[in-house]
Structure 1
Amino acid sequence: MPYTIDKSIIVLEYNPLIIDLLLLVLFGVQHSVMARAFFKNNLLSKLSDTFKSATYCIASALCLVAIVYFWQPIDGYLWKFEDGVMFWIFTTLYVLGWSFAFISTFLIDHFELFGLHQGYRVLKNLPEPPLKFQVRYFYKFVRHPIQLGTLIGLVATPSMSYGHLLLSIGMLIYVLIGLYFEEKDLLKTFGQEYLEYKKTTPMLIPFIHSRR
């Protein structure tokens, strides 16, 4: 591809570290704030519940476009494998990680997650189904397989430049902070049912249980 995380679309004459950090903060704040109940119930209170998920996804897409378009490379590599065994190990993990995240979206209803089912029900004049807590497949081993797969895909790269490392660390911090607040919302929504699930299923690392 002509442009990658190590070859920018547009070159800005400014400190690349500051620009990249600002882009990560923009992405993290938008994702975390817009996902919270207080934002939906206040700033989006006049917007139908049907369109809130789609609005969130559009805003997220715009932030992601900003990262892709304005991200500035940072010289140097932590590791770089262009062939051989390590290249294929990292490439395999990369593919498995993103595939794991993608498949996980379908296990909780991919089209509901991105606001498409909500719009379809409005067009067909169908009622909103009641919320139902369910644990299927990957969710039996970790509570957040989408985030786990995403982190694997970010870290398992044959070429880990310092710019890529910054992105990976930034996203890891975002995921951990975001999941802290997301789990609070899930506890409010599903109560004791989610609390029991939380006690028996690790958050991100399979087979490692929290004793709290």
Structure 2
Amino acid sequence: MGRAGQAAQGRRQKAVPKIIPVESIRGAAAICLAWVLFGLVHSLLSREWAKRRAERLLGPAFLAGLYRPLYAVLSAAMILWLWLFSARLPGDIVFFWLPDFLYIVPFLGKFAGGALIAASFLQISFAEFTGAGPLLRLLRGDLKDLPPTPPDALPMSHGDEPLAAAGVYLWVRHPLNTAAFLWIWAQPAYTLYNLTFAACLTVYILIGNRFEERDLVRRYGPGYERYRLAVPAFFGGLRGLGGRSGKLRAPPG
């Protein structure tokens, strides 16, 4: 066994302390608090009242053209900050290393998550999701005379974007969230900090999904209700794809 292998084996055989040090507890708590901060900012900006307030203050063109790209950039920056913040905290503890013969499994999980993201954007618009599409329309002047959002409509509802219910969206309703689960939980080693990070992300997705589902029902009406009854949220079997497709094609009764 080479020096690198001996060092890795030594790290894996290091016993987990019977009592978690105070420094490690503080680090895990700091990760949780950072996620609470992210959740508050991200959730507040995604709420309908925040979008309507932005529209009243800055105009319909700002809401339709700049709100989404600014929201996407801020979200990405905060996620990157969360990851760097967690990675640099001292006092992390390794609870469990995967055996050598399973070491490829987390990388396969991350590859599957990446493939799922790519498959998702075959069905939905990457430009609309990231805000590049609205920004381009704003720069072209297409939104100059846009009227305010009616009181009974959702702000930024993208009414011309159909409900995605084919491809990977026939397997699960929220494949991007499924990809996040695969990516964050597939690790070669499980530590106090990466488990805390993964648990916080999971809780945030589950809570946020409840609000997202409510907005999707408002946006797409009975069509989304049928879709929700036919297709599972995050994980589904491949054997039922034909049945789900048939349920969605059948006339409402």
TM interval, shorter chain, is 0.7 to 0.9
Residue identity opposite 2:114 in structure 1: W
3-state SS, counterpart of residue 34 of structure 1: helix
Q: Equivalent residue for 2:124? A: 108
Q: Is the 8 A contact 2:28 2:192 kept in 1?
A: no
- Post-superposition offset of 1:56: 0.7
Q: Counterpart of 2:95 in 1: which secondary structure?
A: strand
Amino acid at match of 2:95: L
Superposition pairs for residues 15-164 of structure 1, below 5 Å? 15-43=26-54, 45-47=56-58, 48=62, 49-71=64-86, 72-81=89-98, 84-126=100-142, 130-164=160-194
Larger radius of gyration: 2
**Residues 1:87 and 1:13: Cα distance change in structure 2 (over 3 Å):** closer
Shift of residue 107, structure 1, vs aligned partner: 2.5
CA RMSD of aligned residues (A): 2.6
TM-score (norm 2): 0.70
For 1:165, the aligned partner's letter is L
- Shift of residue 101 of structure 1? 2.5
Give the Cα–Cα distance (whole angstroms) in 2 for the partners of residues 74 and 107 of structure 1: 43
List, as ranges, runs of 4+ consecutive aligned residues in structure 1 with deviation greater than 6 Å. Answer: none
- Tell me the CA shift for residue 108 of structure 1: 1.0
Q: Distance in 1 between matches of 2:171 and 2:207?
A: 21
Instruction: Answer whether contact 1:26 1:63 (CA < 8 A) is retained.
Output: no
Q: Which runs of 5+ in 2 are unaligned?
A: 1-22, 144-157, 241-253
- Equivalent position to 1:177, from 207, 212, 218: 207
Distance change in 2, residues 1:45/1:65 (3 Å) = farther
Per-residue CA deviations over 1:137-190 (Å, capped at 9, x if unaligned) read 110010000000111110011111110000110000000000000000011111
* TM-score between both structures, scaled by the size of structure 1: 0.82
The number of residue pairs the alignment matches comes to: 197
**Do the aligned partners of residues 197 and 168 (structure 1) sit closer, same or farther apart at CA in structure 2, a change above 3 Å counting?**
same
Relative to structure 2, which stretch is displaced further, 122-131 or 171-180?
Answer: 122-131
> Percent identity over the alignment?
22
